Structure 1
C-alpha cells in the first residue's frame, strides 16, 4: 500500500483529499502547513507528496526545495496542487524538481491518474537503479576478490619463505623480503580503505548533511601535507624520482570537513598523478582562494588522457587505456575521491592533453568561523 502525504492549508479540501485517497486504498497522512509537512516527510517517509503551492509561512516552493535538498528525501515524487493557471507557477515548480502538477479544481480521476503515473515512473526508475547497483556490486565482488587475493598471496608466499629458510637467509635478503610484505600489506590496507569509503558513500553515511553537522574545521595545508604522505603509500610501483612540489602555502585557508575522508580523497588524486608520471618528473600541487572557494590544482607530466575518455575516467572500476597504462588497482580511486569531495560541497574537474599531462582541479567551499 503506497503512502501518500497531502500538504494543504485549506482544511476542508485536505479532509476531502484524504478521504478520497483512503477510498482508493492508499495509506495517507495530512499536514495543514508547510512546517508540519516537511517534518512528516522526514518522519513518515511517504512514497509520494501532494502539496499546495500557496500556503502561509512555508509555501509549496519552499517545501519542495527542502525535500529536494535532503539526500534521503530528494527522490520522493512530488505533485504540485495550485489554483493558479498561469504557466509561470507551473514552470517554476518543474524547474525546482516537481514531478507533476494539478490545477484546482481537479477530478478524482485526474488525481488518481497523476498519482498512478508518478508512482509507476518512480518504481521503474527505482528498479533500474537497483539493477545498476546490483551490477556494480557483482563487479565489485569479482574485483575485490582479485585485488585482495593478490597481496594476500604475496604476503603468504614471502612469509612461508622466511619461515622455511630463516637460517639460510642473510640480513639483506630478510630485509628485502620484509619490504615485500610491507608493500603487500599497504596495498591491502589501501584496498580496504577504498571499499569502506565506497560503502559509506553508497549507504548515505558520508553526505553533505553529516559533514555540516559533524565536520571539523581544519587547515587545508595540514590536510594536503598528510595527503601527500599518504599518497606515497597509495601509489603502487611508482616511477623512480617523481617529486611533489607543494607551492603557495597559505595556513589561513580552512575547510569544514571529515578529516580522514578528505585526506584520503587528496591522497588518491596525488597518488594517481605520481603513478602515471614518467620517471624524474614533478607533480605540481597548487592552492589558492577565489570568491569564497578554495581551489587545489594537481598537475602531472604524464601521457595525458584522450578527450573522448575523460568522462570515463570518473566512472567506478575503470582505468584509462588499461592496456597501455596497466597499473595495479581496482581503478575506483578517482571516483571515490570525487564523491568524497562532492560530499564536502565541492567539485572535481579534469583537464588533460595527450602527451603533456593531466590537471585535476578541486573546488571546495572555504570555512569561515562564526562570529
Structure 2
C-alpha cells in the first residue's frame, strides 16, 4: 500500500479548514491542520509534508510571513507552497511569488480546482526531484573517470616529493612541481565544466531561465564571438600558425554567453585533440537564414565506436556515453544545441580528421 502524501494546512476559518480537510482526505491525502503561530521549524520537521497550503490574511500571522520563514530554512526550501486567497492585488501576487509561492487558489473554489492544483504542484515537484536524482546518479558514475588522470598526477608527484625530497635534485623538484601545477589546472577546468554542465541540466526545469541563457536582448555578430574565443584559446595553446579562419558576418538572436559557451568548447577540442603542426580550420557563413559553422582539425580523429557514443551524446546527454575521453566539453555543447533544436553533427576518421558542423539561428 502506497504511503499517503502529507499536506499541511494553515487556515484560521474553522468551516473552510474543515471543508478543505474533508476534500483532501476523500482524495487520499493525509492532512495536518496547524495554527499560524506554531513553532514552524519544529512542526514542519516533524510532519515532513509533501505540500503546504496557507490562507494569506490571518490574525496571528499572515501567509506571507509563514512562507518567508519557511523559505529561510534550507531543508524546507523545495516544499511546494500554495496560497488560498479571497482577493489578491498584483503587488500581493508578486510578493508571494518573490518569497517562493508556487500557486494561488482563489476563494471560492471548487473541490476539483483545489485537487487539480495540488496534484499539478506535486507532479512538478516530483519531476524536479527525479531529474536531480537522475543527474546526480549519472554524475556520480561519470565524474571519477573524468578526474582520475589529473588526480593520479597530483597524488603521484606530490608523494614523490614528500617521500624522496632528500634525494631529489632541484631540477627534479621543479619538474615535478610543474606537473603538479599542470594537473591542478586540468582538474580545475574539469570541475568548472562539471559545474557548467550541472547548471545547463537544471535549465531543463525552468523555461524562463533557459530562454534567458539562450537568447539575448539584442542581436550578436557571430564572427566577433568566434574571434574572441579563438584569441583566448590561442593564449592557451600558442598555435597561431596552425589556425585558418574564414568567416562571413551574421547577426544572431542568441546571447553572447550561449554562443561563446558552444564555440569555446568546440574550438578548444579542435586544438586539444590535434598536435602542433596539425591544421585547425574554422569557417562560418550564412545559409538558409542561419549561420553554418564548420570546425575542422586533421588531428587524432575519433574511432567508429566512439563516434557512435558521441552520436548518443548528442541525442541523450552525458549519461549515454559514460567514461568517454572527450569529457564534459561536448556534453556542454550538446546540451545547448539540443535546447536550440539544432544538434551539432560530427564527421571523423581515426588518425585523420574531425569536423563539427553547427547551424546557429
Could you tell me the TM-score, scaled by structure 1's length?
Answer: 0.52
Question: Could you say what secondary structure the match of 2:246 adopts?
Answer: coil
Supply the distance in 1 between the matched residues of 2:101 and 2:168 (Cα, whole angstroms). Answer: 70
Counterpart mapping for 1:1-371 below 5 A: 24=20, 27-29=83-85, 42-43=97-98, 47-48=102-103, 111-113=110-112, 115-117=114-116, 119-120=118-119, 122-145=121-144, 147-148=146-147, 150-162=149-161, 164-165=164-165, 168-169=168-169, 171=171, 176-202=175-201, 207-209=210-212, 219-229=224-234, 232=237, 245-250=243-248, 257=255, 262-274=259-271, 281-289=278-286, 293-300=290-297, 302-303=301-302, 310-313=311-314, 315-318=316-319, 320=321, 327=325, 331-339=327-335, 346=340, 348-353=342-347, 355=349, 359-364=355-360
| Cα distance, 1:197 vs structure 2 | 1.5
Rounded to whole Å, the distance in 2 between the matches of 1:347 and 1:231 is: 31
Q: 2:219, 2:252 within 8 Å by CA — same for their partners in 1?
A: no
Greater helix fraction, Structure 1 or Structure 2: 2
**In 2, are the aligned partners of 1:217 and 1:254 still within 8 Å (CA)?**
yes
Instruction: Report the Cα distance in structure 2 between the residues aligned to 1:161 and 1:308, rounded to whole angstroms.
Output: 37
In structure 2, C-alpha distance between the alignment counterparts of 1:166 and 1:286, rounded to whole Å: 54
1:287 Cα deviation from its structure 2 partner: 1.9
- Do the aligned residues in 1 keep the contact of 2:250 with 2:291 (CA within 8 Å)? no
2:250 and 2:286 in contact (8 A); partners too: no
User: CA contact under 8 A between 2:317 and 2:331: conserved in structure 1?
Assistant: yes
- Relative distance call for 1:353 and 1:268 in structure 2 (3 A) is closer
Query: How far off its partner does 1:332 sit?
Result: 2.7
Number of residue pairs matched?
276
On the 8 A contact 1:158/1:177 being kept in 2, the answer is yes
User: How far did 1:120 drift?
Assistant: 2.4
Q: Which residue of 1 aligns with 2:64?
A: none
Kindly state the Cα deviation for residue 194 of structure 1 after the two structures are TM-superposed.
1.0
Distance in structure 2 (CA, Å) of the matches to 1:28 and 1:213: 37
Deviations 1:233-292 (A, max 9, x none): 9xxxxxxx9986442245786887465x75454232234345556997544321224577
Which secondary structure does the structure 2 equivalent of 1:247 belong to?
strand
Question: Is there any run of 5+ residues in structure 1 with no aligned partner, and where?
Answer: 4-18, 52-107, 234-240, 366-371
When the two chains are superposed, the root-mean-square deviation of aligned CA atoms in Å is 5.2
CA deviation profile, 1:40-92 (whole Å, cap 9, x unmatched): 785476545789xxxxxxxxxxxxxxxxxxxxxxxxxxxxxxxxxxxxxxxxx
Q: Taking structure 2 as the reference length, what is the TM-score of the superposition? A: 0.53
CA contact (8 A) 1:283 1:300 kept: yes
Compute the displacement of 1:186 (Å): 2.5
Q: Which runs of 5+ in 2 are unaligned?
A: 1-6, 10-14, 22-52, 54-82
Residue of structure 1 in register with 2:39 after alignment:
none
Contact residue 151 and residue 188 of structure 1 kept, 8 A: yes
